[in-house]
Amino acid sequence: MSDWWRGGVIYQVYPRSFQDSNGDGVGDLPGIIDRLDHIASLGVDCIWLSPITQSPQADMGYDVSDYTQVDPLFGSLEDFDQLIARAHALGLKVIMDQVVSHTSDEHPWFAESSVSRDNARADWYVWADARPDGTPPNNWLSVFGGSAWEWHTSRKQYYLHNFLTSQPDLNFHNPAVQDAVLDVMRFWLDRGLDGFRLDTVNYYFHDARLRSNPPLKSLKGKPVTNPYDMQSHKFSKSQPENVAWLKKLRKLLDQYPGTTTVGEVGDDERGVELMRQYTSGTKMLHQCYSFDFLGPKFTAKHFRSKVEGFFADGETGWPCWSFSNHDVIRHMTRWAPHSASPADLSRQAAALVLTLKGSVGLYQGEELGLPEADILYEELTDPRGIRFWPEDKGRDGCRTPMPWQHDLPHAGFTTGKPWLPVKQAQSALSVDVQEAHPDSTLNAYRKLLAWRKTYPALINGDIAFFKCDEPVLAYRRSGEDKDLICIFNLSADPRTVKLSKVELALEPVSHNATLDGASLQLGPNGFAILPAPVGEGRVSYKDS
């Protein structure tokens, strides 16, 4: 089916931390191959590989020095081909990160571009003269702190870097850069890859006039850890020229039937708006995600407003919702204040993301209910955490190795010293421990994923929300012959929800839920899924 991705479930593998096969303490492609059966057992549709291409690893692979080589840290192109073949044999699609808004400063393109102002690749990166006083051309800031401009002595100009100084931004205003990026993508598609997760998809273009960003209108009374968060990034990213480029990219993907694109939109002000714009119709990206559900907000109003905002006015685009990934604190820790039990929260989060309209992204370890790891300063590897510690501890806490077997050193991830430590809180939730318990979080995910496939309404049905007070979130997923009513208590306290007098019954995947006629009792983080005749059944909840 060419549109397998629509409503599909994508499992993100962070290769460094999945499985080490050679004892060097870093996960690799052979290790992933060895663990593919685990991924297949979950019932997901696709694997997303975080960066595996050649890199000096200043930003853990998001600084690419060769787009068409696997970094030896992870294996070889032959290993990649074997992974694709094995995954396909198990019925799994494979997509991989394409980090093309910027390269490493060790990439040959940058080495050539930086030599002079008149070489063949002189305009492949974003270069600008200093202002008369020697300062950078504008006020743009780097996500990782400080100015987004770095002086280069050979060119006697500044170059733009939205992230580390060793990650210079490519100049997408240059058609030759666009063509080179498409050639890279064609290389991987020709090897059988099923598509791409596009890193920082709204960062490709900058304002050609290099106008300074205005300040953010409101900081909501809160001091910021990173000055980057004090600007409205009106000119440094999310430019209108991006639309034409994304159409060009989609045209390439359409030459490879059954492939997909997942764009990462990093824009706190316009996240859902850009998701809509970048996926609208059939000539843009297939799907996008933003960071709207990757933060601390855990309210019915928040979830409802973002989903309704995306699908407003009959929007034809497609979202990919996720609650955790390699860039944010794991949701089991972020949302813990709203729960009484990790087991209840993990099941509720799984049921919620798997019943919203859209595709789904699951991050490795999510199926185990892993919390954020408590990383010490001396254990850090993430440049963001090192820069902003302790207010921002960086991303290492969500990137620690997968725990496979609780009674082995490092929970079976490696026979060597792991690049990040495996803490006891994670080891206690190892795969082998949970395999042995039918009621474990791991088995709950498997049951939910298998159950989801039995209801077409959850794959492509419409969504409509009921009016309920906090903390109850309720909506209908519409099917051709049967609807599903989904009700969630987003709190650690029990709630009673009223249903209309239509004969309803709880689906077995419901949790902490008891139905007595038209009265639904939801325990802490309880949720109920109820099949209903098309268009029938109502939900009401008033906070007393």
Active site positions, annotated: 199, 264
Per-residue 3-state assignment (H helix, E strand, C coil) for 103-122: CCCCCHHHHHHCCCCCCCCC
Measured CA to CA, the distance from residue 103 to residue 108 in angstroms comes to: 10
Choose among 441, 424, 430: nearest CA to 331.
Answer: 441
Helices vs strands, H then E, count in the chain: 15, 20
Choose among 114, 161, 153, 115: nearest CA to 134.
Answer: 153
SS3 at position 250 = helix
Q: What would the two tokens of residue 470 be? A: 């906090």
How many degrees, rounded to 5, is the angle at CA 280 between CA 278 and CA 281? 135
DSSP strands (E only) in 331-444: 359-363
Choose among 233, 325, 245, 321: nearest CA to 277.
Answer: 245
DSSP string, 475-529: EEE--SS-EEEEEEE-SSS-EEEEE-SS-----TT-EEEEEETTEEEEEEEEEEE
Residue 280 near residue 315, CB atoms below 8 Å: yes
DSSP string, 364-388: TTGGGTPPPP---GGG---HHHHHH
Q: Is 319 exposed, middle or buried (0-12, 13-18, 19+ CB in 10 A)?
A: buried
Neighbour tally for 392: CB within 10 Å: 15
